[in-house]
Amino acid sequence: MINLEKLNQYKQAFDFFSQHLSYPEELSIFNEEFFEATFASGMPGLSSFRSYWDKIGKFDELDKIQEQYIETFDFQKKATLYMTYAKFEDSKERGQMLARLKVLYEMYGLNMDQAELSDYLPLMCEFIFAADWLEDERSLESFSLLFAVIEDGTYHLLQTLEKQNSPYFYLIQGMRELMKSCVLKQEVESK
């Protein structure tokens, strides 16, 4: 079960994840003030986020950050930001999961672009950040599904990013640590 109150405290981090896992189109998201405002002292995953920030900060020009992003996510089949792809590839089960995620977003008022797939990690992070889900009685069940998909997809992604020695490894590692801190203890022990 997900601790929604705790997750709500970290909503701003999911805006950061969404922006930093999308194709970088402007340098303004690589702003120290944005980083500091997002990640408070003592926050789960903070050391990983700092490692990401230090490594991505070495790319001082937008075109170099874009090149790093393309090399990481566009040319590596196993470094996919589509969270159900590693498990299901293009099977019928993946189509069913994509449909479930799309319905979940629509329940909370998010209408997706027809060209987007619902398991795209930046979209999932944007949903956590932007949707009004805290007081909704459907959220416990909905977020259990969402967390399961993200956890499974990022597990495979993390392994690939580590092999590539990618700065994005640290961002995904920190996100997983942050999300794990929002899972109630009794579920963690049963796994």
pLDDT digits (tens, 9 = 90+) for 33-58: 999 999 999 999 999 999 999 999 88
- pLDDT value at position 186? 65
* Nearest alpha carbon to residue 123 among 144, 95, 104: 104
Q: What is the pLDDT of residue 110?
A: 87
Cα gap 18→40, rounded to integer Å? 18
C-alpha span between 46 and 5 (Å, rounded): 19
pLDDT, averaged per 10 consecutive residues of the chain (191 residues), comes to 94 96 90 91 95 90 92 88 87 90 93 88 96 92 94 96 95 97 69 44
92-114 per-position pLDDT tens digit: 888 999 999 999 999 999 888 88
pLDDT of 184: 86
The pLDDT value recorded for residue 27 is 84
Q: Any idea of the CA torsion for 148, 181, 143, 83, to the nearest 10 degrees?
A: -40
pLDDT of residue 107: 93
- For residue 31, the model assigns a pLDDT of 86
**Closest of 128, 121, 122 to residue 150, by C-alpha:** 121
> What is the gyration radius of the CA atoms in the chain, in angstroms?
16
Output the pLDDT for position 8. Answer: 96
Q: Residue 178 has what pLDDT?
A: 97
Query: Cα–Cα distance between 139 and 147 in angstroms, integer?
Result: 11
